[in-house]
A = this chain, B = another copy of it.
């Protein structure tokens, strides 16, 4: 469920003329830039990479980058957002009971983050100082993930496995919050944590079993 097309387009530039005039944008350059960005951010981290480095590595000029992306952050976002969410949302999860489905979902998510976590952390950091970018990032990176998680939980509700009045939004926030929290504090995101978090979340979706302390 990933866009096959690169997300940038010509609408950035003022082309209120006819559809295609002048030299068309080089597809190769776009791919090279994304690949270079991905590779360099892997190796040196978000702040350790400059746009000059990316341009040099991609064999392009800087202007070619800024013609397509408005900032380094949005480029890196593009370089990472489009990937690694493929496997997570695969349909095989659907058949499992809610807790196992959630655990499986989280395990896959954590695996993907093993690769992309560093970059994604850098993006979140940058988002703190740029509100425009924060909104971009929310739309591109945060929201889709929230939606697929929410859908997973909703399936549990629909199946009668989870209560109808469950607070799905709070759960989603808590689950992703816990993930980001661990990611940003550099604590391990492993299978064990996935299970515990899944158990906790599923439990949280049920009302507590009457007041115990009567």
Contact = CB atoms under 8 A, between A and B. Distances in A.
Contact of A125 (B45, B125, B171): B125
Interface of A is mostly: helix
Contacts of A200: 167, 170-171, 174, 204-205
Contacts of A138: 185
Nearest to A187: B173
Chain A: number of interface residues, binned into ranges: 35 or more
Interface stretch (A28-36, A86-94, A127-135): A127-135
Given A122-B128, A129-B46, A167-B196, A181 B185 contact: no
A204 B196 CA distance: 11
28 contacts: A48-B129, A97-B212, A121-B128, A124-B125, A124-B128, A142-B185, A160-B212, A160-B214, A167-B196, A167-B199, A170-B199, A174-B175, A174-B177, A174-B197, A174-B200, A174-B201, A176-B177, A176-B181, A177-B177, A177-B180, A177-B181, A178-B178, A180-B184, A200-B204, A202-B208, A203-B203, A206-B206, A206-B208
Interface of A: 45-48, 97-99, 121-122, 124-129, 131, 134, 138, 142, 159-161, 167, 169-171, 173-182, 184-186, 193, 196-197, 199-209, 212-214
